[in-house]
Amino acid sequence: MRNNPFLVLFIFTAFFLLIDIYAYRGIKKLKINYKEKTQKIIRYLFWIVPLILIVELLLFSIFYTHIDPANYIIYFHFISGTFILFYVPKLLFIFFNMLDDLVLLVKKVFRNKGTNYSDTEISGKPISRGQFINRTGMILAAIPFLSIAYGIKWGRFNFTIRNQSLKFKNLPAALNGLKIVQISDLHIGSFVDNKEHIKDAVELINKQNPDIILFTGDFVNNVASEIDEFVDVLSMMKAKYGMYSVLGNHDYGEYVPWNSLEDKQNNINRIIDLQRKIGFNVLMNESRTIKINDGELELVGIENWGLPPFPQYGDLNKALSTVKKDSFKVLLSHDPTHWDAQVLEKTDIDFTLSGHTHGAQFGIEIPGVRWSPVTIRYKRWGGLYSEADQKLFVSTGIGFIGFPGRVGMPPEIAVFELKKS
């Protein structure tokens, strides 16, 4: 959007107006028997949403260069939230409208006039086939509308604890029962107008009494200044043996048009400095030996490594260069694709922690079933994966970006209790 905002404005406007025109055609089938006054109210309510969206996009396109990069996402989320809230249900609704039109087309082709459905309203008055199909579509479209509305208002702040008891053959006896808390994808700038929820998350993390807190990347959306007003509350996080973090793709400022490479690097340096101020040890292709009682844990952290178009700054060989061969190893690597590419069966790393996917912030989670559309892109996208003696856990994150909500994919805090098998 930053590169050519007016082109994007034109494409988006044309796209959702086509949806609106076709959806309104279906709406007219619903209101055939309504009074004129009711029809006017429906018409005004229907078209006020695209009008608001066009005004939002126009103003954003004109003034986006004057928006502080730290606050850029707030305006973007307002637009994306409006669009997704209203247009996902409309797409479902027009599917039923298209179904009705397809029936009409088939009848014309076969010159079969047919008859209307005999379904009746509560009043006993007959309704047409078109009304029946489109009312069905309207009822079903209400499901995603209400789900998305819930996800925007409450779902994105419904922090969930994921408890995992994990067994490892290579775990030193002295580390038996070690409690690790993983958080990921904070995207702190997205909380700028909901600061109280970050305090809730910190309090929930501390209630787990973690021995170690590990953060697996994407502290910000784009720029270091997003962190400034959250330093005090984030500094309240406490862990017995320390807090450690790595960078994710958003932490490199790749999505900001910097004036110079120096400005970009200064932003990265400041993100690292602020994380250290909060209490994190930032691992940049390096390792740390954590001594606990009479045992040791080798904590390895690499910079972001992802499949294109995501950057590959991670250097696993460098990070492992000082690690003891037979030690128990925990790797922090933001992007889960790194596990299959360089870790699994290629190293003796026992446990890898990743994030990045957000679970698409959309999904279904019921006993025995957890699914997200992000599975189309990522083989390992959320939860625990085990191959032989190696394990990977992919956090679906705490924050949100792109869409200001979470539907069926709540923000999560993972709590691991390590056991010797």
**DSSP readout, 213-244?**
EEEES--SSS-GGGTGGGHHHHTT---TT-EE
The pair of structure tokens assigned to 162 is 């994921």
Strands 280-282 and 243-246 come out as parallel
Tokens 């070690």, residue located: 178
Q: Average the pLDDT over 198-219 and give the result.
A: 98
In the CATH scheme, what is the code of domain 161-420? 3.60.21.10
- When comparing pLDDT for 12 and 176, which is higher? 176
Residue 33 has pLDDT above 70, yes or no: no
Cβ-based neighbour number of residue 284 at 10 Å: 16
Q: Average the pLDDT over 153-165 and give the result.
A: 97
Cβ-based neighbour number of residue 218 at 10 Å: 26
Residue 94 and residue 22 in contact, taking contact as beta carbons nearer than 8 Å: yes
Tokens 């790393």, residue located: 349
**Residue 40 CB-density burial (10 A; 0-12 exposed, 13-18 middle, 19+ buried):** exposed
pLDDT digits (tens, 9 = 90+) for 261-312: 999 999 999 999 999 999 999 999 999 999 998 999 999 999 999 999 999 9
Angle at which helices 36-63 and 72-109 cross, to 10°: 130
Q: Taking the domains of the chain in order of start, what are their residue ranges?
A: 5-153, 161-420
Q: Which residues contact 379 (CB under 8 A, 6 or more apart)?
A: 337, 340
The pair of structure tokens assigned to 142 is 């209400």
DSSP state of 403: S
pLDDT digits (tens, 9 = 90+) for 376-393: 999 999 999 999 999 999
Q: What is the DSSP string of 323-368?
A: S-TTSEEEEE-S-THHIIIIITTTS---EEEE---GGGGB-EEETT
Quote the CA–CA distance of 135 and 246 in Å, as a whole number.
51
144 upstream amide cis, omega within 30 of 0: no
Alpha helices in 31-114 (DSSP H): 36-63, 72-109
CA 349 from centroid of its chain's CA atoms? 27
Residue 250 and residue 221 in contact, taking contact as beta carbons nearer than 8 Å: yes
Q: What is the pTM of this model?
A: 0.90
Angle at which helices 5-30 and 36-63 cross, to 10°: 170
pLDDT digits (tens, 9 = 90+) for 319-331: 999 999 899 999 9
Tokens 């950057």, residue located: 311
CA 168 from centroid of its chain's CA atoms? 30
Q: CA 391 → CA 166, 342, 343, 353, distances in Å?
A: 9, 14, 10, 9
Residue 165 has pLDDT above 70, yes or no: yes
Q: Which residues contact 314 (CB under 8 A, 6 or more apart)?
A: 285, 302, 303, 304, 305, 333, 338
Three-state DSSP at 419 gives strand
Residue 354 and residue 393 in contact, taking contact as beta carbons nearer than 8 Å: yes
- When comparing pLDDT for 138 and 158, which is higher? 158
Residue 241 and residue 271 in contact, taking contact as beta carbons nearer than 8 Å: no
Residue 17 has pLDDT above 50, yes or no: yes
Return mean pLDDT, the chain.
90
The pair of structure tokens assigned to 177 is 């029962």
